[in-house]
Amino acid sequence: MLTRISHETFSDGRGLLSVFNLSTEFAGFQRVFLTSNGKVGIARGGHAHREQKQIFFAIQGSFEITFNSRGESGTIVLDPKSDGILMPSLYWSTQTPISENAVLLVFASGLYDEREYIRDLNEFNKVLND
């Protein structure tokens, strides 16, 4: 089940300040990466993770996050004032920028390992049904 992850955001005439408390909200997460310079409407992702979890935050612009797993599916729009989304393992998802210059911050619970990825939707459905 998807979970919203809150973070503190402060706004004044200088802009937004977003605070991510690594020792509490992100304990156990091992990797951080950004996606940026994507074309509006062109999705990234299109895969699932066997065991890893990810947390998504839009830190600039807006993203449409689609997800599907075991009868739970939907679309969530993230922007810099939104809570983050915790994507559990075995969720198929895509992340699509829906505004120019959008930047997505992603926390991952493990280091990069290609064996961790399920990149074929038919294989994903088979794994879910096993």
What domains does the chain contain, in order, with CATH numbers?
3-11+28-129 (2.60.120.10)
pLDDT confidence of residue 22: 78
What is d(CA 62, CA 87) in angstroms, rounded to the nearest whole number? 17
User: Does the reported pTM lie above 0.85?
Assistant: yes
Mean pLDDT value of segment 50-73: 96
Residue 76 clears pLDDT 90, i.e. is over it: yes
55 pLDDT more than 80: yes
Is the model's pLDDT at 27 over the cut of 90?
A: no
CA atoms of 61 and 58, how far apart (whole Å): 7
What 17-26 contacts at long range (C-beta under 8 Å, 24+ apart), as own/partner pairs, is: 18/57, 18/59, 18/80, 20/57, 26/55, 26/107
- Rounded to an integer, the average pLDDT of 12-23 is 86
pLDDT digits (tens, 9 = 90+) for 85-110: 999 999 999 999 999 999 999 999 99
